[in-house]
A and B are shown apart, each in its own frame.
Chain A
Amino acid sequence: MSKKDFYPLLMIVIAIGVFPWVVGGNQYFISILVFMGINSIVTMGLSLLMGYAGQISLGHAGFFGIGAYSSGILTTKYSFHPILAFFAGIFLSAVIAFLVGKPTLRLKGHYMAVATLGFGEILFIFFNELSPLTGGPSGLSGIPTLTFFGHLLEGTTYLYLVWGFVIILLLFSLNLINSRVGRALRAVHGSEIAANAMGVDASWYKVQVFVLSAVYASMAGSLYAHFVTFISPSSFSLMFSILLLMMVVVGGAETIWGALLGAMILTLLPEYLRGLEDFEVLAYGAILMVVLLFMPQGVLQGVRSLFGGKKS
């Protein structure tokens, strides 16, 4: 973490800390902030993958789903401890990401997008068809809420748990990008041939960051499952992968902060667009177009340059 990241980080910690009091413990507002945190975890991983290493994925809803279903299935059907299930999800996601990433990361641009899209769809079919485990299209219910030394984590405490994860992963990501590994990732994005010529094993770094982003997504999925206690395949469809991608692009893929901001904006927005019902998707599309046209580097950079700030 560099110095310029310290104050934004402190602000987030304070904002999250006082938020429940500001909204008077309103469960609706708190749950929105929980979802913002959960989505942020996925988009931070995606930002490392897309913004830094320059690799696209349309399959991350799948990894989110693996985390959610691992937690859901293992705790309800095999009475695993939630923490054990959480790590099982991470392990499974990492292994699958490695196996999928190895061949698909050879592909570039659109081809990589289509390959990961196909992967996401395959997982979506598994979630639907493995009814004995996943409950099929009608979903899996009765996922236990989490406890901490006998204290039930819900509402405000769950908010703190999720944002604790956000902060830790944010710190981890910021450290990572300001390091040898982060430079290697950006170098792969900048020029793969030059990265290789300087001794960076580009294909191995691409696989590593793909696995890392899958691990982030899996963590988020587990946190999601224990929060909503009921999961069904529709939450892990292609539409969610696209939404995640939009969050990263709208916020600004090339900074971790942008990914965070994008997740917050696009988690909040549907709450306001809900009144539009069927036209919700239309409004989404319009917003994405406006952002791409007027702030091609994302809202974060767009706002910064509006206020005359330097591009960083």
Chain B
Amino acid sequence: MDGGILKGKGLHKFFGGLRAIDFLDFIVPEGKVKSVIGPNGAGKTTLFNMITGVIPPTGGILEFAGRSLNGLKPHVIACLGISRTFQHLELFGNMTVLENVMLGRHRQTASGILSAGLRLPRMRREEKEIRENALQELRFMGLEDRAMLSASALPLGEQKLLEIARALATQPKLLLLDEPAAGLNTRETVKLSETILRIRDRGITIMLVEHDMSLVMEISDEVLVLNYGKKIAEGSPREVQRNPEVIAAYLGEETGNA
């Protein structure tokens, strides 16, 4: 378990009296799919928000590729190589599908207001590169024929894929997927699981929050189970599924008749 790309030690987040994440230790191994599951309110999205710097931890350590994430702003963390999708879609509805993905290339490019406004040669080269790369990611996600549509015009399933394409365009080392299968039909979910594995095969570590248990159990290398902000189990899908505490958390406490 050592040598993980992302590590948390004693990580906690309290909202007043509510312990959203309660002294959590975890490791995300590089190049693997690690899922975080747990009942609603277990602290999964809070964990994602802390990793990406959206909310600061109350305390504890977060370390990414040997670097502390504590106190870094979201855009700095993104530039270190952590990208994400959102549980509630956060697409740029005022932009086309292609432009959404092109925005993902922001961190690899450098043109400022002057070189963009004057359309300097450097900026034009850069722009071409951005476009080609974005088209490549759209093809990877199977959205290339949607490129010129407005992002808000896509059906939900494709919007979810677009968020992944945009995140991939940032060339992340670690990709956080927050409930990517929510709202997808069975066929789309099957396709999604294939896509996630293809992303992993590109060498990108994946951290997945998901309620669709068959998806989680099928593609995860490791599963971390949270309940009320505490880790109740961690291990391979098989181990976790057998864990009595996990079963209790999902099906309710045993009251003697189970």
A residues apposed to B, CB below 8 Å: 1, 172-173, 175-176, 179-184, 186-187, 189-191, 193-202, 208, 212, 254
Which of B90, B102, B116 lies in contact with A194, CB distance below 8 A? Answer: B90
- A–B pairs, 27, beta carbons within 8 Å: A172-B118, A175-B118, A176-B116, A176-B117, A179-B117, A179-B127, A180-B130, A181-B111, A183-B95, A183-B103, A184-B106, A186-B95, A190-B92, A190-B93, A191-B90, A191-B92, A193-B54, A193-B86, A194-B92, A195-B92, A195-B103, A198-B78, A198-B83, A198-B104, A198-B167, A200-B106, A254-B94
Q: In the complex, what distance in Å separates the CA atom of A210 from the CA atom of B224?
A: 45
- B238 near A: Cβ within 8 Å? no
Nearest B residue (CB) for A183 = B103
Contact A197-B84, Cβ < 8 Å, known A183-B102, A190-B92, A212-B113: yes
In the bound complex, residues from chain B placing their C-beta under 8 Å from that of A182 are 116
Once bound together, how far apart are the Cα atoms of A195 and B99, in whole Å?
Answer: 12
Q: Which interface residue of B93, B117, B166 has the most chain A CB atoms within 10 A?
A: B117
A197-B95 in contact given A180-B130, A191-B90 (Cβ < 8 Å):
no
> A-contacting residues of B (Cβ < 8 Å)?
52, 54, 73-75, 78-79, 83-84, 86, 90-95, 99, 102-107, 109, 111-113, 116-119, 123, 126-127, 130, 166-167, 170
Contact between B73 and A196 (Cβ–Cβ < 8 Å)?
yes
Q: Which residues of B contact A196 (CB under 8 A)?
A: 54, 73-75, 78
Can you name the residue of chain A whose Cβ is closest to the Cβ of B49? A193
The complex places the Cα of A264 from the Cα of B155 at a distance, in Å, of: 39
- Chain A interface secondary structure, helix, strand, loop or mixed? helix
Q: Give the chain A neighbours of B109 by CB distance below 8 A.
A: 180
Contacting residues, chain A, for B106 (C-beta < 8 A): 180, 183-184, 198-200
Q: Answer whether A200 and B116 are a contact pair too, CB < 8 Å, given A180-B109, A184-B106.
A: no
Q: Are A187 and B92 in contact (CB under 8 A)?
A: yes
CB distance from A204 to the nearest CB of B (A): 8
CA distance A191 to B152 in the complex (A): 12
Q: Which residues of B contact A175 (CB under 8 A)?
A: 116-119
Pairwise interchain contact B117-A172, C-beta atoms closer than 8 A:
yes
Complex Cα spacing A173 to B52, Å: 33
A175–B127 Cα distance when bound, in Å, is 11
- Residues in B neighbouring A195, C-beta threshold 8 A: 75, 92, 103
Kindly name the residue among A175, A182, A254 whose own CB sees the greatest number of chain B CB atoms within 10 A: A175
CB distance from B113 to the nearest CB of A (A): 6
Query: Across the interface, which residues of A come within 8 angstroms of B127, CB to CB?
Result: 179-180
CA A144 – CA B195 in complex, angstroms?
A: 68
Question: Known pairs A186-B99, A197-B75. 11 more at Cβ < 8 A?
Answer: A1-B119, A179-B116, A179-B123, A180-B116, A180-B130, A186-B94, A193-B90, A198-B104, A199-B170, A200-B103, A202-B75
Q: Min CB distance, A96 to chain B, in Å?
A: 18
Among A172, A180, A186, A190, chain B packs the most CB atoms within 10 A around the CB of: A180
Give the chain B neighbours of A194 by CB distance below 8 A: 86, 90-92, 166
CA–CA, A189 and B103, complex, Å: 13
Nearest CB in chain B to that of A201: its residue:
B75
In the A-B complex, list the 10 residue pairs whose CB atoms are closest, starting with the nearest.
Answer: A190-B92, A199-B107, A179-B116, A194-B90, A199-B78, A196-B74, A172-B117, A191-B90, A181-B116, A176-B117
Q: How far is the CA of A189 from the CA of B126 in the complex (A)?
A: 23
Instruction: List the A side residues contacting B167 at CB < 8 Å.
Output: 198
Interchain CA distance A193-B85 in the complex, whole Å:
11
The CB with the most chain A CB atoms within 10 A, among B95, B107, B126, is that of B95
Q: Across the interface, which residues of A come within 8 angstroms of B166, CB to CB?
A: 194, 198
Contacts of A254 in B (CB 8 A): 94
A187–B169 alpha-carbon span in the complex (Å) = 15
The residue in chain B whose Cβ has the minimal distance to the Cβ of A189 is B94
Contact A197 B113 (CB under 8 A): no
Chain B CB within 10 Å, residue with most, of A1, A172, A208, A212? A172
Return A205 CB to nearest CB of chain B, in Å.
9
Q: Within the complex, what minimum Cβ distance (angstroms) separates A190 from chain B?
A: 3
A200 to B126, CA, bound (A): 17
A189 to B99, CA, bound (A): 14
Instruction: Check A200 against B113 for contact (C-beta < 8 Å).
Output: no
Q: Measured between C-beta atoms, what is the minimum distance from A208 to chain B in Å?
A: 6
Alpha-carbon distance A189/B113, docked complex (angstroms): 17
Which residues from chain B contact A181 at a C-beta distance below 8 Å?
Answer: 111-113, 116-117
Taking CB atoms, residues of chain B closer than 8 Å to A180 are 102, 105-106, 109, 111, 116, 123, 126-127, 130
